[in-house]
Amino acid sequence: MAWAFGLGFFAVAAVVAFGVVQMYLVMAQQAFGGGLAVPLVFWGGLAALACLAWIGMRRPASLEGPLPVALGLAMLLATRGLASWYLDGPLVSDFLEYHDLALAAARGGPWFSDLRPMGYPLLKAAGFAVLGPVPWFGEALNLFLAAVTGTFLYLWARRIWGAAAAVLALWLYAFTPAHALMAAVQGTEIPYAAAFMGALWALAAAPPWVAGLMLGLSQYVRPTSLILVPAVALYYRSWKPLLAFGVAVLLVLAPVVGWNWQTHHKLSLSTSTYGGWSLLVGTNQVSNGFWNLDDTILVNKLPFDQRDQFAREEAKRRVLSDPLGFGALALRKFGFLWGAEDFGTYWTLGVRPQADQRPATALYLLSQAAYCLILVLAGVGLWLERRRPAEPVVLALLGLASLVAAHTFLEVQSRYHFYWTPVFAGLAGVGLLRLWEAVTPRAGSRPDPAPAPATSPAPLPGPTP
């Protein structure tokens, strides 16, 4: 069932994403005034790249050894480094709030907040405490954590499909334009992607208590990690590893449980008080589930300790009063969340009203095209691997299904799928490898750490009870 969901997900997301490409092509025609020249150049360039890739597949270089991995990490750092050097992500919206929390913590302020999870602000605060509030530290932290994400992506993919697929996944991820652009934005996206990929790797290759430790730590960066817990319970299938995992999660989150009890008199593992707010915004049909001023004014009229409960009750009323309209909203939200890869360009160039829209339009188009490629290759990889399903992939698909279901009700923004793109790149890497092997059967590598004959790869063993 998880495999069927994954195939359906990538098919629908890819169709929506290609529709967004068409929209950006129209924008590019208007911005550059090129008539048919813009789509011809775009599709012609893609065709030329496909021809070059086909030639490369006929004469493949080795993907084994440390050099391809080092090259992939170098390319990842180069693309992100160039973006952070030439672009300046403005401190606005959520990013300004996280920055202010980091400054307060560096000056001896509280380690917990009623507003936001404190994992990312505390990381920045540690640097500010040593270096002072230097503006470049957030971008340097992004570069380091992007390399951590790439490393965990490689290790996760290698554990499942072998070194060759892992290298291809790393290379694909290195050249995702939207993720490169976000290196200039000081938000939780890159830190959470690193923590999330670390948790997925630990679930696939480390003892359960390590996985629990890493998933618990990721909850301090964004309060969505616990959505994975039901999928983890199905993955382990035995109470002993699940108990070790659960105890580790609880131990890591014990400080925030104490904070929630002391401050709000609630036993809660959540690192944010925005749960009700997210439900309220996510059920607003007029705003399509996006942030909006009307809901902000509605909630801000109330005392702070009454806002969460009011928001939850109002969200419930909206759903029950118009279930058909809410169903249509859920379908629109899926497209907004999973079909668009516009966040990198928007949060660097799009929020600047005086900026030249031509480079922004070109980057919107480039980012979307790269995302379409990853979605298509991920679907191909999932299809070609359907006869030998790896349990860590099933876990990831169950987690993805949980998040799709959650965002049926919660607020959406395209950047909320940021941390799933490395997972998609992992599936895209094996999809590309299997296509490569169809052209040159001797290309590729054997799974790590348990080698298997190249003609019949052994399925990855499940977690040890």
Tell whether the torsion through CA atoms of 200, 205, 211 and 213 is positive or negative: negative
Angle at 139 between CA 136 and CA 141, to 5 degrees: 110
pLDDT given for residue 420 in this prediction: 97
The residue whose two tokens read 């600047």 is 352
Cα gap 54→270, rounded to integer Å: 48
pLDDT given for residue 157 in this prediction: 96
- 236 and 208 in contact (C-beta within 8 Å)? yes
pLDDT given for residue 459 in this prediction: 40
Could you tell me how far CA 33 lies from the centroid of its own chain? 34
The residue whose two tokens read 């920045």 is 124
The torsion defined by the Cα of 193, 195, 196 and 199, in degrees rounded to 10, comes to 150
Question: What is the pTM (predicted TM-score) of this model?
Answer: 0.90
Cα gap 70→171, rounded to integer Å: 10
**Tens-binned pLDDT, residue by residue, of the chain (465 aa):** 888 999 999 999 999 999 999 898 888 888 777 666 667 666 667 676 666 666 555 555 677 788 999 999 999 999 999 999 988 888 888 899 999 999 999 998 888 887 789 999 999 999 999 999 998 999 999 999 999 999 999 999 999 999 999 999 999 999 999 999 999 999 999 999 999 999 999 999 999 999 999 999 999 999 889 888 999 999 998 899 999 999 999 999 999 988 888 887 888 888 887 778 899 999 999 999 999 999 989 988 888 878 888 999 999 999 999 999 999 999 999 999 999 999 999 999 888 776 677 888 889 999 999 999 999 999 999 999 988 878 999 999 999 999 999 999 999 999 999 999 999 999 999 999 998 888 775 544 445 454 444 433 444 434 433
Cα gap 124→111, rounded to integer Å: 12
How many residues appear in the chain? 465
- 417 and 337 in contact (C-beta within 8 Å)? yes
Give me 57's structure tokens.
């597949």
**Longest pairwise C-alpha distance within the chain:** 67
Amino acid identity of residue 285, one-letter, is Q
Helix (H), strand (E), coil (C) string for the chain: CHHHHHHHHHHHHHHHHHHHHHHHHHHHHHHHCCCCHHHHHHHHHHHHHHHHHHHHHHCCCCCCCHHHHHHHHHHHHHHHHHHHHHCCCCCCHHHHHHHHHHHHHHCCCCCCCCCCCCHHHHHHHHHHHHHCCCCCHHHHHHHHHHHHHHHHHHHHHHHHHCHHHHHHHHHHHHCCHHHHHHHHCCCCHHHHHHHHHHHHHHHHHCCHHHHHHHHHHHHCCCCCHHHHHHHHHHHHCCHHHHHHHHHHHHHHHHHHHHHHHHHHCCCCCCCCCCHHHHHHHHCCCCCCCCCCHHHHHHHHCCCHHHHHHHHHHHHHHHHHHCHHHHHHHHHHHHHHHHCCCCHHHHHHHHCCCCCCHHHHHHHHHHHHHHHHHHHHHHHHHHHHCCCCCCHHHHHHHHHHHHHHHHCCCCCCCHHHHHHHHHHHHHHHHHHHHHHHHHHCCCCCCCCCCCCCCCCCCCCCCCCCC
